[in-house]
Amino acid sequence: MAIAYITHSDCLRHDMGHHPERPERLSAINDRLIASGLDMVLRQYDAPEVDRGLLNITHNPLFVDQVHDFAPRDGLVWIDGDTAMNPHSLQAALRAAGAVQLGVDLVMKGEATQVFCGVRPPGHHAEQGKAMGFCFFNNIAVGAHHALQNHGLERVAIVDFDVHHGNGTEDIVSGDERILFCSTFQHPFYPHSGYDCIAPNVVNVPLPAGSGSAAFREAVDLYWLPRLKAFEPQLILVSAGFDAHQADDMAGLNLVDTDYAWVTRRLCEQAESSADGRIVSSLEGGYELHSLARSVEAHLKAFLGEVA
């Protein structure tokens, strides 16, 4: 079955000026998909706007109203020191969350087995009532709630290999026994969270700066995979951040393209065991354009069973 690729031109129009989270990220990915021939095997979809009710389940409804109210007619409005909205940002954020909603629909209806959402802005730093860290709405948490609320699932796993801890996802799902959240991230590092969580449904594995492939793979083998096996998720959602790559100077971990292929295959094996293969992955970080594009290629080829 074809892999679904969900994106939208509105996601290119969100622009925070001279900023690492820039439209060229998606352009680099799209160029790589064409150059690698992957565009020929992907079934492409336009991301819809997310359902407002889903946003209100995932986030505080007053916060959702505030994000809509902040949207400017011109110029930039800064939400925090890292996160700004231009006149197109709200639409892009609604499409980014809507992409994951659609991805869940596709895998649950059997129209795709794996989905990659090539969207921006990212989402995993967005908390129940706070936008931060380049993020407005928590795209992946929206997908989890959609699967539970509207598709009748009982167990959904979220895995996050971004170099930054997904504080927003943890804030939203912590204590919800229907959702297992597994995360690796550099620590100490922005957003300075995740190292002290005691929620039983959260598996955080902080990694010190300088950690590389061996440490990352050991963390997945020792901490993620046993919990995923025991949990038997009916759907796996992936916060796919590629900024732990050694070429990305945003942080200090030293992963390489093949690490993303390796972890993707491990997740596919679990999905095949408990979830009929169902995985929905959504772009989070990754700011060095060449390594970002190559890593997404490796991630998608691993869905096809290819591991270099």
Q: Please provide the DSSP assignment of 219-254 as one string.
A: HIIIIIHHHHHHH--SEEEEEE--TTBTT-TTS--B
> How much of the chain, in percent, has pLDDT values that exceed 90?
98
Rounded distance between C-alpha atoms, residue 20 and residue 7, angstroms? 19
Cis peptide before 208 (omega within 30 of 0): no
C-alpha triplet 54, 120, 287: angle, nearest 5°? 140
Q: What is the pLDDT of residues 114-133, one digit of tens each?
A: 999 999 999 999 999 999 99
Q: Which of 125, 146, 164, 187 is catalytic?
A: 125
Q: Which domains does the chain have, with CATH numbers?
A: 3-303 (3.40.800.20)
CA-based nearest residue to 138, from 160, 112, 108? 160
Amino acid code (one letter) for 290: H
Contact indicator for 147, 170 with CB cutoff of 8 Å: no
Q: At a CB cut-off of 8 Å and minimum separation 6, what does 45 contact?
A: 4, 5, 6, 102, 106
Q: For the packed helices 139-150 and 89-108, what is the interaxial angle rounded to 10 degrees?
A: 40
Rounded distance between C-alpha atoms, residue 116 and residue 43, angstroms? 10
Whether residue 145 has pLDDT greater than 60: yes
Q: At a CB cut-off of 8 Å and minimum separation 6, what does 255 contact?
A: 212, 213, 216, 244, 245, 246
Please indicate whether residue 192 is annotated as part of the active site.
no
Q: What pairs with residue 46 in β-bridges?
A: 7
Whether residue 234 has pLDDT greater than 80: yes
What value does the mean pLDDT of the chain take? 97
- Phi-psi label, residue 277: left if phi above 0, alpha if psi -120 to 50, beta otherwise: left
Query: pTM higher than 0.95, yes or no?
Result: yes
Higher pLDDT, 308 or 170: 170
> How much of the chain, in percent, has pLDDT values that exceed 70?
99
Neighbouring C-beta atoms of residue 56, cutoff 10 Å: 14
Query: In the chain, where do the E strands start and end?
Result: 3-7, 42-46, 77-80, 83-85, 114-117, 156-160, 179-186, 202-207, 235-240, 279-283
Q: What is the pLDDT of residue 140?
A: 99
Sign of the torsion formed by the C-alpha atoms of 200, 129, 190 and 147: positive
Q: What is the pLDDT of residue 306?
A: 76
Whether residue 1 has pLDDT greater than 70: no
Going by DSSP bridges, is the β-strand pair 77-80/83-85 parallel, antiparallel, or unpaired?
A: antiparallel
What is the band of 308 on the pLDDT scale with cuts at 50, 70, 90? Answer: low
Whether residue 57 has pLDDT greater than 80: yes
Rounded distance between C-alpha atoms, residue 37 and residue 29, angstroms? 12
Rounded distance between C-alpha atoms, residue 300 and residue 97, angstroms? 20
Contact indicator for 127, 171 with CB cutoff of 8 Å: yes
Q: What is the pLDDT of residue 2?
A: 81
